[in-house]
Amino acid sequence: MISLQVDAVVQELSGLVGDKAKVVYDQKAGFLRVETECKNAADVAKKMKETGFDHCISVTAVDFPVEGRMSVVWHVSSYTNSKLMGMLAALTVNVERARPEVPSLVPVWESAVFHERETHEMFGVGFAGHPDLRQLLLPDEFKGKWPLRKDFKLSKKREDLFNKGGAEP
C-alpha cells in the first residue's frame, strides 16, 4: 500500500521537474531523494511545493573533505496533503568545498529561515538571498571558524581540566 503511493508521488514529481533533478525513493533509508544542481535548486523547490511538500524540517550540510565537496540537504515534509503526510523528501545539492554557495530557499519555505542561519554559521555555506544571515547560536568570536567542518578539531585535552587555580574574586 505504501509503495503504490510512493511510486505515484515519484512519478508526479519526476514529471514536474523534468530533467532538472533526479527523483528516487531510497528504500533502505526510508525517504525520497531529490538531487539537483545549484542553479536549479529554486525551481525544483517550487515544484516540490506544488506537489504538496509545504514545510521544511531541517537544513544541514554534510562535509566530505576528501572528495572536496559539501552536500547541502533540505529535509521537507507535508502537514496538509494526506498522500504525503508521513513521507519525507531530501533535496540535496552538492557544492564545491572551497566556495559553498547555494540559493536560499526561504522564499519557497519560510520555515527554513532559522535552519539556514545555523548552517551558515556552522559550515560557512552562503545562502544567497537570505534576509538575515547573522550568528545564531555561537558568539561573535566564532565568526569565520565554522566549527562543524571536518578540519575544525576539538582541541581540549584532559590535562587542561585539572585544577590549576581559580578566578579572582
- Tell me the CA distances in angstroms from 159 to 149, 152, 162, 163, one per residue in order: 25, 20, 6, 9
Q: Phi/psi of residue 42, each to 5°?
A: -65, -40
Does residue 28 belong to the site contacting other proteins (CB under 8 A)? Answer: yes
Compare residues 15 and 129 and give the one whose CB is closer to other proteins: 129
Residue 65 engages other proteins in binding (rule: CB under 8 A): no
Rounded to whole angstroms, the Cα distance separating 90 from 100 reads: 19
Per CB under 8 A, the list member of 45, 72, 113, 125 interacting with other proteins is: 113
Site for other proteins in 136-155 (CB under 8 A): 136-139, 141-142, 147-148, 152, 154-155
Q: Which residues of 20-48 are buried (b: 16+ CB within 10 A; e: fewer)?
A: ebebebeeeeeebbbebebebbbbbbebb
Of the pair 18, 129, the CB lying nearest other proteins is at: 129
Give the interface with other proteins as residue ranges (CB under 8 A).
26, 28-31, 54-58, 60, 62-63, 73, 75, 79-80, 85-88, 109-115, 122, 131-132, 135-139, 141-142, 147-148, 152, 154-156, 158, 161-163, 166-169
